[in-house]
Structure 1
C-alpha cells in the first residue's frame, strides 16, 4: 500500500508539469453508464451546511454515521480534522480529553471532525467554525453494555478480568473487576462509557451532577441521534444540514455477527443490573430518547413518512446495485482494503461488491472502512491545494 501511495505522489508531481484534462467521473457520482439506468447525481442545495462535529461513541452505530459524513466530506472537498498518526487520537488510548494539538496540520481550517475522542468542548471549538453543528449518537445501555462486553473483552481491563465469568458474573460483583480511573486501556467503557466520552466524570452518579451534565450536553449538541431509530435520526440530521435524502443513504458498517436478530434473550433482571451499574448512561439515554421524539414531532409525521419511504428506496437501490445479496464475515473478505477491524477475532458482517460495481466509487465508498478513509483524506489534505483536488481524487481511488 505504501509503495502504491509513493508512486501516486510521484505521478502527481509529474502531472503538474503538463496540462491534463481529467475525464473521470467525480467521486460519489452514479451515472446511467454505471448500472444501465437513468442518470443519478448527488445534487446539493446552495444553502447546504458544511461544518459539523460528530462525537463518535462506541457500539452505537457511529461507524455507519461516520461513513455517511466521510463520503459527504470527500465529495464536497471539505477538510476534516484527522488524528495525527492513526485513526485514534493519542489521548483517547489513555482516556484523556481531546487536545487540538493532536490534529494533523493542514493549510486551512477544518469543516468536520468525526473520530472517537473524550470530548473537550473548548478544544473542539478551536478547531471548527463557530456555527458548526454538533451531533452525537446514544444507544440503550442494556444492549450497548452487552455488545461492549463482548467486543472489548480483550481491550478493556475490567472486561478482561471478567472473561471467565461472563457478563452475568461481572454484574453480580462489578467492583471486583472494575478498579476505577486509569485502570489500563479503555477502562471507562466498563462504566457509563457514553457519559465519559461526552467529557464527564463517569464515577460521579449523583443526581444533581448527572442532571447538570445532561443540561450542558443539551446546550452543546444540536442533535442527539438514538441508535434504535437510526433512519429517523439521519433524516433529522439531513434536515439540520439542509442536505438531500441521498446524502444520508448508507449500508450498515461494523455490525457483529448475530448482533441484532441473533442476540441471546437474557433475563430482564440482567438489563436492570446494567441500568443500575450505569446510572449516568441510563439517565442520559432516557433524557435524549424523550427529546428525540420532540424533534420528530417538529419534523412532521407526513414529511417523515415520505422521507423514510424515499430513504428506503435509495438504500434498496444501492444495496441491490452495488452489493452481493449475502453479507460475509470479515475474515472471509479477501481484499484487505475492505476488511473491517475487529478485536478478539469476532466476526464482523460485511457487504461484498458485485463485479459490476468494483470500479464504482459510490459503491466502494459505502463499505470503505474508517482506516482507509483516514488514509485517503490524510494524503489528499496534506498534498494538494483546492485547485488540485480533482486530479488527485482519481489517483487516490486508483490505488485502492
Structure 2
C-alpha cells in the first residue's frame, strides 16, 4: 500500500512527510526512534513550516500528535493483517537479520519455534515483530496488557473513532476499491505489483497447534483484526454485485498492466478501455518503471525530489 500512496503523491504533486533521517541509516523509513510517535522534528523539512499532504512511512499512531501536524480534513486509514500471517511474514522477513527471531529459529530444535515466542521476546515491545505488533503500532500503551480483553476492547473503540477506514490484507483488492470510492480515485491510482512473495519460508509446515500458539500470544491483535475484518465484510456485502464486479474488473486491469510491463519488446503504451465505473486510461512503459519500485526505492526517489 505504501508504494501506491508514494506514487499517487508524486503524480498529483502532493507534499509527502518523510522521516528526518539519513538515507541508509538503520530504520531510516521510520519516523523517530523506537517507540516514538510523530513530531515536527521527526519530519524532513528543509524549507521549514511545510504543510504536508501525505504520510505513509512507519510510525506509532497517536491521534493528537497527527492532528497537530496535518489538516483538519485529513483522511486516516491503515491496514491490518491476520495475526498468524503477520507473525509468519515477520519471521520470514527478519529471521536472517533480527537477533531475537534468529535465536528463536536456531534454538527451537525439538519443538516448533512458534510455540516458544514468549520465551524469546525482547523486553521492549517496540523491538518485537511477533508480540501484538499491530496493536502497539496503533498506539496501544506498552504499560498495558495486550492480552486483557476489556482493555483491548476499549482501545479498539478509541481507534475506530479516529480512523476513517481500515483495510484488510487478506481482502486487499476489495479494500483498495473501497478506498478508491471513498477518495474518488481511479483504477490507475491504485495499480500495484505484489512485493516480497518469493521469500523462502523459514518456518515451513505450520500446524494448527502453531496457529493456536500464535493467536494466544497475539490475542490482542486477534481481537483487533477480527473486529475490523467483520466490519470490512459488512462493507463488502453492502457493496453487493456492483462492488464484486468492480473488483473483478480491477483485477483484469492489473493483469493487463503486469503483462504489458513484463513484455520483452515494449509497445509505446497500453490502452485500458472504459468500464462501467470510469473512463479508460493509457499506461506507458515509463510508468512501468515506477510501478516496479519497492517502498525503499521509492522513498529514495522522494528524498531526492524533496531536496
- Following superposition, the deviation at residue 89 of structure 1 comes to 3.0
Query: Which whole-Å deviations, capped at 9, do the CAs of 1:47-106 have from their partners, x for residues lacking one?
Result: xxxxxxxxxxxxxxxxxx1111111111111110011224423534x2332323110115
Quote the Cα distance in structure 2 between the aligned partners of 1:175 and 1:368. Answer: 36
Q: Which residue of 2 aligns with 1:361?
A: 286
Q: Matched residues in 2 for 1:136 and 1:375: separation?
A: 22
Q: Does 1:290 align with 2:233?
A: no
Q: Give the TM-score, by structure 1 length.
A: 0.65
Are the aligned partners of 1:137 and 1:227 in contact in 2 as well (CA < 8 Å)? yes
Instruction: Quote how far apart the aligned CAs of 1:219 are.
Output: 0.9
Report the counterpart of residue 158 of structure 1 in structure 2.
100
1:217 is paired with a residue whose SS is helix
Question: Following superposition of structure 1 onto structure 2, how do residues 364-375 of structure 1 map, counting pairs within 5 Å?
Answer: 364-375=289-300
- C-alpha separation between the residues in 2 aligned to 1:180 and 1:232? 37
Q: Alpha carbon RMSD of aligned pairs, Å?
A: 2.5
Residue number in structure 2 paired with 1:181: 124
Give runs of aligned pairs for residues 319-338 of structure 1, distance below 5 A: 319-324=258-263
Q: Describe the shift of the 1:163–1:309 C-alpha distance in structure 2 as closer, same or farther (beyond 3 A).
A: closer
Q: 2 CA distance for matches of 1:149 and 1:379?
A: 32
Aligned length: 282
Please report how far the alpha carbon of residue 372 of structure 1 lies from its aligned counterpart in structure 2 after TM superposition. 2.7
Displacement of 1:160 in angstroms is 2.8
TM-score normalized by the length of structure 2: 0.83
Question: Within 1, Cα distance between the matches of 2:46 and 2:216?
Answer: 45
Distance of aligned partners of 1:240 and 1:273 in 2 relative to their CA distance in 1, 3 Å threshold = same
- 2-side partners of 1:258 and 1:317: how far apart? 28
Q: Deviation at 1:369?
A: 2.2
Name which of 219, 231, 245 aligns with 1:279: 219
Instruction: Specify the alignment match of 2:132 in structure 1.
Output: 192
Counterpart secondary structure, 2:170? helix
Alignment pair present for 1:304 and 2:243: yes
Q: CA deviation at 1:201?
A: 2.9
1:132 aligns with 2:74: yes
Q: Is the 8 A contact 2:38 2:61 kept in 1?
A: yes
Secondary structure in 2 matching 1:113: coil
TM-fit CA distance, 1:355: 5.1
Distance 2:205 2:76 in 1: 35
Contact between 1:89 and 1:102, CA under 8 Å: does it hold in 2?
no
Name the residue aligned to 1:96: 36
C-alpha separation in 1, matches of 2:267 and 2:35: 40
Distance change (3 Å), C-alpha of 1:322 and 1:126: same
Shift in alpha-carbon separation, 1:68–1:175, aligned structure 2, 3 A: closer
Q: Deviations over 1:319-370 (max 9, x none)?
A: 111115xxxxxxxxxxxxxxxxxxxxxxxxxxxxx45279833101111122
SS at match of 1:378: helix
**What is the match of residue 246 of structure 1?**
188
Any stretches of 5+ residues in structure 2 without a counterpart? 269-283
Structure number with bigger Rg:
1
Q: Give the Cα–Cα distance (whole angstroms) in 1 for the partners of residues 162 and 97 of structure 2.
A: 30
Contact 2:84 2:211 in 1 (8 A): yes
Q: Is the 8 A contact 2:118 2:217 kept in 1?
A: no
Q: CA deviation at 1:310?
A: 1.9
Query: Which residue matches 1:111?
Result: 53
SS of the counterpart of 2:178?
helix
Shift of 1:174: 3.2
CA distance in 2, matches of 1:90, 1:245: 30
